[in-house]
Amino acid sequence: MGAAVIAGAVVLLLLGAAAPAFADDPPTLPPRAVPVPRGIAATPSGGSYEQLISYANDSARDLGAIQQEARDVAAERNETLAQISTLAALTQKPSAVRDRLEREALRLSATTKIPSASTVSPATREAADEMRTLRVELKQQYVALQADAVALAPYAVIVSPNGAWTTPALGELTQGFGRTTYQGEPARVYDGVYYAHFHEGIDIGADIYSPVVAAAPGRVVWVGHLPDGAMVVLIAHIGGLVSLYAHLDDRIAPPRVAAGDEVQQGQIIAAIGMTGMTTGPHLHFAVWLNGELIDPLSLLAP
Ligand SMILES: [Zn+2]
């Protein structure tokens, strides 16, 4: 009976190794370096418009770093999956060693001899040890993968691929980006050219209180009033992009987001208003790429 039990244990060990089912208590795992995406620096309290924009651009750069870290984790995960697949194939592959082990197990189960250390051949013990090691490694890989998934989950939004941006408000384009004859816009040098009046974004005239949505997935980095009274939301996006939504309402339908929030593309973040210097309800929408203003229309779907 003792021999049959031992033989059965050997067979179970072998068959158990073939299918990676882990009923054992988890082994003590060595510490594993899972890249933890960095957070974003604390929101500044106040400051000039330039300081805010600079802060937002820094945040976009941080998001870029997070994206890179997430890519590294994904690459590591793919590598781990490949290793698991290799290990699984190894444990399932019919081999001379395995055939010999099965014959050994059958021989043991057919005998009534009292088992002793000598009834299990060194080859059997060696192969069994190898199988056990493989199982432990497989288990460790699975546990590590689970840890990766947990660490990455909160960043699913910001690492989603960026396609065309969503128009942030439904309405009429009342002023484009760049050179303008509108006297209210300040002078600016852009791309080495001086403009007496330069519009930093686009204006979309829309009904008061109609929704304003995030143009792309990202992280809100600032919500508040500019010195001129305009209520704004600033969002950092992967790829070094920052979007600004200005003249938002701050009384009936104030912004629905706060600094630190992650937003989806198309998510309602605020409502059209008339805060700041404006002659009518509209959204002023501006975009920076790596700290430089760009024409938002270049990102919006045609
Ligand atoms: Zn404007």
Domain that holds residue 255: 172-298
Residue 196 lies in a domain: yes
Residue 160 lies in a domain: no
Looking at the fold, whether 81 and 211 belong to one and the same domain comes out as: no
Looking at the fold, whether 177 and 148 belong to one and the same domain comes out as: no
CA of 181 to the centre of ligand 1 (A): 13
Looking at the fold, whether 197 and 255 belong to one and the same domain comes out as: yes
Q: What is the pLDDT of residue 183?
A: 81
Q: What is the pLDDT of residue 296?
A: 94
CA of 63 to the centre of ligand 1 (A): 26
Give this prediction's pTM.
0.61
Q: What is the pLDDT of residue 219?
A: 93
**Which of 124, 155, 186 is where one domain is finished?**
155
Looking at the fold, whether 176 and 121 belong to one and the same domain comes out as: no
Q: What is the pLDDT of residue 25?
A: 43
Q: What is the pLDDT of residue 17?
A: 41
Looking at the fold, whether 123 and 238 belong to one and the same domain comes out as: no
Residue 162 lies in a domain: no
| Cβ pair 282, 212 in contact under 8 A | no
Count of domains observed in the chain: 2
Alpha-carbon Rg for the chain, nearest whole angstrom, is 31
Q: What is the pLDDT of residue 146?
A: 64
* Owner of token pair 């980095």: 221
Looking at the fold, whether 100 and 186 belong to one and the same domain comes out as: no
Residue 114 lies in a domain: yes
> What's the pLDDT tens digit per position in 156-196?
545 444 578 999 999 999 999 998 888 888 888 888 888 88
**Which of 108, 126, 155 is where one domain is finished?**
155
Q: What is the pLDDT of residue 135?
A: 73
> Taking ligand 1, which is a single-atom ion, which protein residues have CB atoms under 5 Å away?
203, 284
Looking at the fold, whether 207 and 75 belong to one and the same domain comes out as: no
**Which of 127, 155, 183 is where one domain is finished?**
155
Cα–Cα separations (whole angstroms), residue 293 to 38, 54, 122: 26, 12, 72
- Residues facing 113 on adjacent strands: none
Q: What is the pLDDT of residue 60?
A: 85
Q: What is the pLDDT of residue 266?
A: 93
Q: What is the pLDDT of residue 63?
A: 79
CA of 187 to the centre of ligand 1 (A): 14
Looking at the fold, whether 147 and 23 belong to one and the same domain comes out as: yes
Q: What is the CATH number of the domain that holds 288?
A: 2.70.70.10
Residue 167 lies in a domain: no
Rounded (5°) CA angle 259-265-271: 65
Looking at the fold, whether 288 and 191 belong to one and the same domain comes out as: yes
User: Exposure of 193 by Cβ count < 10 A (0-12 exposed, 13-18 middle, 19+ buried)?
Assistant: exposed
Spatial distance between the Cα atoms of 85 and 234, rounded to a whole number of angstroms: 45
Looking at the fold, whether 121 and 211 belong to one and the same domain comes out as: no
The rounded average pLDDT for each run of 10 residues, N- to C-terminus, in the chain (302 residues) is 42 40 43 38 62 87 76 71 70 65 69 58 77 76 68 53 83 92 85 89 96 94 92 92 96 95 94 94 96 92 70
Looking at the fold, whether 145 and 184 belong to one and the same domain comes out as: no
| Cβ pair 183, 196 in contact under 8 A | no
CA of 302 to the centre of ligand 1 (A): 20
Looking at the fold, whether 177 and 265 belong to one and the same domain comes out as: yes
